[in-house]
Amino acid sequence: MEFKLENKDILKTWYKDARNKVKENLGIKNPMAVPAISKIVINIGLKEAVSNSKVITLATNVLSEIAGQLPVKALAKKSIAGFKIRDGMPIGTFVTLRGLNMFVFLNKLINLTLPKVRDFQGVPVKLDGRGNYNLGIKDINVFPEAEVSGISELSTGLNITIVTNSGDDKKAKELLASLGMPFIRK
Q: What is the pLDDT of residues 68-80, one digit of tens each?
A: 899 988 777 777 7
Where does the pLDDT of residue 5 fall: very low under 50, low under 70, confident under 90, or very high at 90 and above? very low
Q: Rounded to 10 degrees, what is the CA torsion of 111, 117, 118, 124?
A: -100
| Closest by CA position to 85, among listed 37, 129, 47 | 47
Residue that wins the pLDDT comparison between 153 and 7 = 7
**pLDDT value at residue 92:** 83
Cα-Cα-Cα-Cα dihedral sign, residues 149, 152, 156, 160:
positive
Q: What is the dihedral of CA 139, 3, 99, 104, to 10 degrees?
A: -30
- Which domains does the chain carry? 5-179 (3.30.1440.10)
3-state SS record for 83-131: HCECCCCEEEEEEEECHHHHHHHHHHHHHHHHHHCCCCCCECCCCCCCC
For residue 39, the SS3 value is strand
Residues 11 and 99: their CA atoms lie apart, in Å, by 11
- Give the predicted TM-score (pTM) of the model: 0.85
Strands 90-97 and 133-137: unpaired
